[in-house]
Amino acid sequence: MEIRRANPSDLPQLKAISAASVSAAQWTPQQWLDIFHTQIPPRFTWIAEDRNAPVPGQGIGFLVAQNLGPDWELENVAVLGEFRRQGVGRALLSTLLAQARALQAERILLEVRASNQSAIRLYHGSGFQLLARRRNYYRNPDEDALILVHSL
């Protein structure tokens, strides 16, 4: 597996990975374009690729985050089902943490569905802690969001 900064030519892969993941944020076409074309605040997008896939360089996961100065926000993350529980999500989070530290961030925030226990375990294992709960934040189905924070 290799993790690298994504670029606009990766958009079809990023969209496909997101569409295949029930837990990923399902963005509009404009929101996808904005990750590369709107840089206030600065955004970082990484893609994880499997060198051993039938199609070399196949995208298997991604992570998108915003640099809001001392606070960063993890906006979207997804890993293809057949590659989950193989360290892809953890590697993407490690990449985010390293970049945020290098740019002197103080903390990273994220929101996750309260029912997404596998993601919550991953985040806790990477040092994120519960900060707050937003009642009925998500729709279809209605559900609380947990706000997690990682202090750097």
User: Which residues are catalytic, by number?
Assistant: 111, 123
Q: Which of 118, 94, 109 is nearest to 1 (CA)?
A: 94
Contact yes or no for 60/53 (Cβ under 8 A): yes
What does the DSSP assignment read for 77-133? Answer: EEE-GGGTTTTHHHHHHHHHHHHHHHTT--EEEEEEETT-HHHHHHHHHTT-EEEEE
